[in-house]
Chain A
């Protein structure tokens, strides 16, 4: 069930990412935009139907809570024993990196998590590695290092408490939390 949900969310995110990335690519962020060769067909580009980029305000804090905005998506999921940020999460990470860039006074914490298997302290380190992987990608995309504190909860704060692969996958995760949230 979780996997299905995750997959649904991902498809949704990819579609959103297609829209959200367009305006700021004009701003010159050289973002690789080939993340969907095997994915679902891309939504029609706004340009094809006469987009109105001026309607887009600079992204404000409200976007962080707007369920329709990719910035409300805060979780990056990882494979077992991996800290690789998978392609499907690049749009999400990119959007947050851009937000930090556009809002230089903004700070965030990235909270790494691990599944319950294995040593608690080693899992703190695994979660740390995941949160740092996301931070690193955001830095490459223009965020300042001092805007992002990477921390880890290890296996201590699981989102789901089951003892199966679906639960473990749900808990191998890095969460983005903005200062003040």
Chain B
């Protein structure tokens, strides 16, 4: 655990674990954040009590209490219910009851640690909301260690009313990262397709399903949304021209353009990590083969695979050196890997007769994919080194797996009562959650990157 360095008492240095979220906040100019200039107790002593490796054998839920913030009751969007819901949804936290206290603690000196020990909370989130003269709000929180009676993290944010929900996700991210050591993904977004009657909508929503916005809609199917690495663009396939055509759309301007519209079918877009190249599947030369194109649709496609079989579903490794894809060149659809510079493809999956839709984990050490077992299609993960396969889900038709940017969860599509719904499973298979209501027919989810 190198995420939390020792912090000498009295220095106004933030724990390193919190620096990255701070940067994101600064760069996005969404909220203005400053660290509390408060004495920080040496964290090395706190580490033993709080650094819990959640993922892995013997995983436990971290008991944490989130106390309603001072003055949040008057907000259209109270903060703490969002924080608590984020943390609970991850499956890594057990929410400790914070009711029955009068007055509620909002500052460290208000905390009666014996109460929280009695309630078996290991950490408590406290804070406050204050309206500013310009109509915005000052939101501040502290994460307190009950055993050591020290502050683990503390920030203040300046947020407009519309940013309160995002601020809550940022706070949940800090709590998550401080307590688990992995970056939080609560302030990331997901893209997916909703089918409403005959209408197909490409939507983008917060990772908790709120704030859904329709990016594009059509009376013809839309599929295979794929996030640009910087989260500003989506590539996808639309059949609106009576054939599959690959589009790229800016999420900031809403403008879209066809980037692959060649003779035949154009599909399965995947971004290179630098965002400059899109791997796509084109049938212009006959068959379905993988090509690289400029992500702005300029220049000629460069053919990458040369088989008489189906080669599809390309996916780049995070370092951009390798490409995974699905091919039936061996007689059944299996997952292959090859260098992006070209060269020989190596078969990676051997269990079963149907392994498709490979997607790298963010650390590049494993990939998730769909494996058919009997009549079922399920989400699995394979370690690239050991080739060990773990099947994570047990639905009838599970599809389109994609890793959260921290690698801890996998978002996928499944079916419930005849309708498509989105679900997520932790990458160790322990935690499962359903992300959406069964209001529409939802499919083709793609978990977006960290905001930049």
Q: List the interface of chain A (C-beta within 8 A of B).
A: 109, 111, 116-122, 124-126, 128-129, 132, 149-154, 156-157, 177
Are B224 and A122 in touch, CB under 8 angstroms? no
Bound CA–CA A125/B307 (angstroms):
13
Stretch at the interface among B38-46, B237-245, B344-352: B237-245
Q: State the Cβ distance, A151 to closest chain B Cβ, in Å.
A: 4
- B260, CB-defined interface residue at 8 Å: no
- B312, CB-defined interface residue at 8 Å: yes
Q: 13 interchain pairs (CB within 8 A)?
A: A111-B242, A117-B377, A118-B333, A118-B370, A121-B312, A122-B357, A124-B268, A132-B287, A151-B242, A151-B244, A156-B239, A157-B221, A177-B242
Residue of B nearest to A129 (CB): B310
Which of B265, B288, B399, B444 has the largest number of chain A CB atoms within 10 A? Answer: B265
Chain A residues with CB under 8 A of B239: 153, 156-157
Are B263 and A121 in touch, CB under 8 angstroms? no
Bound CA–CA A127/B267 (angstroms):
12
- B217, CB-defined interface residue at 8 Å: no
Are A124 and B312 in touch, CB under 8 angstroms? yes
**Per-residue contact bits, chain B 244-287, to A (CB 8 Å; 1 contact, 0 not):** 10000000000000000001110110000000000001010011
Are B224 and A119 in touch, CB under 8 angstroms? no
Bound CA–CA A177/B281 (angstroms):
23
Q: State the Cβ distance, B269 to closest chain A Cβ, in Å.
A: 10
Q: List the interface of chain B (C-beta within 8 A of A).
A: 221, 223-224, 237, 239, 242-244, 263-265, 267-268, 281, 283, 286-288, 310, 312-313, 326, 333, 354, 356-357, 370, 372, 377, 397, 399-400, 444
Are B223 and A126 in touch, CB under 8 angstroms? no
Are B264 and A151 in touch, CB under 8 angstroms? yes
Q: State the Cβ distance, B326 to closest chain A Cβ, in Å.
A: 6
Are B244 and A124 in touch, CB under 8 angstroms? yes
Are A120 and B288 in touch, CB under 8 angstroms? no
Q: State the Cβ distance, A138 to closest chain B Cβ, in Å.
A: 14
Answer whether A120 and B326 are a contact pair too, CB < 8 Å, given A128-B264, A151-B264: no
Answer whether A122 and B326 are a contact pair too, CB < 8 Å, given A150-B283, A151-B242, A151-B243: yes
Are A118 and B263 in touch, CB under 8 angstroms? no
Task: Pick from A149, A153, A156, A157: contact of B264, CB below 8 A.
Answer: A149
Are B313 and A121 in touch, CB under 8 angstroms? yes
Are A132 and B283 in touch, CB under 8 angstroms? yes
Are A109 and B243 in touch, CB under 8 angstroms? yes
Q: State the Cβ distance, A177 to closest chain B Cβ, in Å.
A: 8
Bound CA–CA A128/B286 (angstroms):
9
Chain B residues with CB under 8 A of A109: 242-243
Are B310 and A118 in touch, CB under 8 angstroms? no
Task: Pick from B223, B283, B287, B372: contact of A118, CB below 8 A.
Answer: B372
Bound CA–CA A12/B268 (angstroms):
39
Chain B residues with CB under 8 A of A111: 242-243
Chain B residues with CB under 8 A of A151: 242-244, 264-265, 283
Residue of A nearest to B244 (CB): A124
Residue of A nearest to B242 (CB): A109
Chain A residues with CB under 8 A of B268: 121, 124
Are A149 and B243 in touch, CB under 8 angstroms? yes
Chain B residues with CB under 8 A of A124: 237, 244, 265, 267-268, 281, 288, 312
Are B265 and A128 in touch, CB under 8 angstroms? yes
Are A152 and B244 in touch, CB under 8 angstroms? yes
Chain A residues with CB under 8 A of B312: 121-122, 124-125
